[in-house]
Chain A
Amino acid sequence: MTTELICAGFGGQGVLTIGKFLAKAGMKEGKNVSWLPSYGPEMRGGTANVSTVVSDEAIASPIVSFPDILVALNQPSIDKFAASIRAGGILIYNSDMCPHGCKREDISIIKAPMVEIAKEIGNQMVLNMLAIGIIIGKTDIIRYETMEDDLTSFMKSKNPELLELNLKAIKRGIEIGKQ
């Protein structure tokens, strides 16, 4: 199976990180992965996006034209990429910053006030982990345990409190994804 994702949002919202953790987790689970960012001046304050592919087979092109999953953290990301989601695909978006949402009916749409929830958990920075949690809750491309192991390996000694917040955010995301 091959899953193609696009994560998009404002530069600084952590969209590249979402893709990176997914790719890393996929790799740790023995899958083929690729992570291809948009780069250049756009990354400073404009829209940033990253194509991530997680696959059981060798990945031919890392360029995602028709994503199975779109994670949109702001409205311009929906406007730019939602039309290209494959029929039957998934749109996950941050309703705090996507006032117009998405009108498509042939895809599943999960909306959540991600900024609010992240603040509620205790740090706006965990928004990206919340998004990863939603993906884990909704699909089976990667497992929660892989994320937990990975985060623990480099955060436990350096910043145990942030690790707890991150894990909490993933778990909260999983709940949202399962609804």
Chain B
Amino acid sequence: MAKILMKGNEAVAEAAIRSGCRLYFAYPITPQSELIEYMARMMPKVNGTFLQAESEVSAINMVYGAAGCGKRVMTSSSSPGISLKMEGISYIAGAQLPAVIVNVQRGGPGLGDIQPAQGDYFQATKGGGHGDYRLIVMAPASVQEFADMASEAFDLADKYRNPVMILADGMLGQMMEPVEFKPAKTDEEIADMWRQHDSWCICPNEDGDKKHHHEINSLEIDPQVLEKHVNNIYKKYAEIEKNELHFEEYNLSDDNEILCVAWGTASRVVKSAINELTKTGKSVGLIRPINVWPYPYEAIAKAIGPKVKKVYVFELNTGQMLDDVKIAVKGKVPVDFWGKVGGIVFTPAEIKEKLEACF
């Protein structure tokens, strides 16, 4: 298929539909409006459901209902809206339902602004909603990756029966880049995927031995039962931590004097700075976590080459992934951080200056 020049917001929506997403519930918010608008245009063309909900809270609960029926369902929003969805996300995780949530992050806290930011890292990777649960969190750095992650996210959500978040930002949502889509799943393939959930989801019943009573539920009033339930979910998370580590190594070599760690949009700017420094003979490597939960702690530890004198973390926040990098580095070398907030994206020149000062 030929490449199409497309905004990230539209590309992820198109990819979701191609992956068999047939229900989408959301509430308008900048800078993800193109996503909800694309779904409004395209869902009717595939006999899917598009519904503009009365609130973010309702949208995520509609997702809970549809996911409980075993269908591929998605919602999207931007930071303040994601905060409102957190209650529902906790329920979806507790009830072990597959669902995909896209967060096109903007500046915060509060109403913040509408420019790109990475201030929802803690919320996405460390909780956000109440209780012991985890989201699989994927962090794209290009429009192509944003689109590719839609289908991966649905596959992972189905595989582990757990909500998956794609943690993008305003830049990835608004930016156009060439994107190539995978072939769309056929109606038969989609029907097959749905039927795989018939053993647990809400579906029509039968009489006699085949009669079922499936409960879509996160309530376990007996502490002993809830303990067992949470422990089972955590066994699943241990599997995810083993199987779903995903990261990119960029310019890693034994000559690296600095190792950078950056994710999403920030990583692209860092790459530009590294390219510039390479021209002047300064060796800097980069680890880019592609999934930010589970987190590639070991990969970061291994990437610290013999000459590395500092690990430098760059984020569009005040240092949220920084904690994870420190856990990975275990004090072996100093860890430094520089970030921008307020929805301002740092420039390659600024990163280059920060890195040059280390040599």
Contact = CB atoms under 8 A, between A and B. Distances in A.
* Touch test A–B (CB under 8 Å): yes
Interface of A: 20, 23-24, 27, 32-37, 39-40, 59-63, 65-66
B272 A27 contact: no
B30 A27 contact: no
Contacts, number: 63
B176 A34 contact: yes
Contacts of B115: 40
Given A27-B3, A40-B30, A40-B114, A61 B269 contact: yes
Given A27-B5, A65-B349, A39 B170 contact: yes
Interface residues on B, range: 20 to 34
Given A27-B3, A63-B348, A66-B349, A39 B114 contact: yes
B271 A65 contact: no
A57 to B, nearest CB: 9
A59 B268 CA distance: 8
Contact of B268 (A23, A61, A65): A61
Contacts of A60: 268-269, 271-272, 274-275, 348
A67 B268 CA distance: 17
A61 B272 contact: yes
Contacts of B184: none
A63 B266 CA distance: 11
Contact of A62 (B5, B30, B171, B275): B171
Nearest to B350: A65
Contact of B176 (A20, A61, A66): A20
A100 to B, nearest CB: 26
Contacts of A61: 268-269, 271-272, 347-348
B116 to A, nearest CB: 10
B347 A63 contact: yes
Nearest to B351: A61
Contacts of B274: 60
A39 B177 contact: no
Nearest to B348: A61
B175 interface: yes
Most buried by A among B114, B268, B271, B274: B268
Most buried by B among A24, A33, A59, A60: A60
Contacts of A37: 174-175
Contacts of B348: 60-61, 63, 65
Nearest to B177: A34
Given A27-B3, A40-B114, A35 B269 contact: no
A36 B5 contact: no
Contacts of A65: 347-349
B334 interface: no
Contacts of B347: 61, 63, 65
B44 interface: no
A60 B251 CA distance: 13
Nearest to B33: A39
Interface in B43-101: none
Interface string B25-55: 0000011000000000000000000000000
B271 A36 contact: no
A34 B143 CA distance: 9
Given A60-B271, A63-B269, A65-B348, A35 B176 contact: yes
A48 to B, nearest CB: 12
Contacts of B5: 20, 23-24, 27, 33, 35
Most buried by B among A35, A61, A65, A66: A61
Given A23-B5, A40-B113, A63-B348, 14 more contacts: A27-B5, A33-B178, A39-B30, A39-B114, A40-B30, A40-B31, A60-B268, A60-B269, A60-B348, A61-B268, A61-B347, A62-B175, A62-B177, A63-B171
Contacts of A27: 3, 5, 178
B345 interface: yes
A23 B176 contact: yes
A27 B179 CA distance: 10
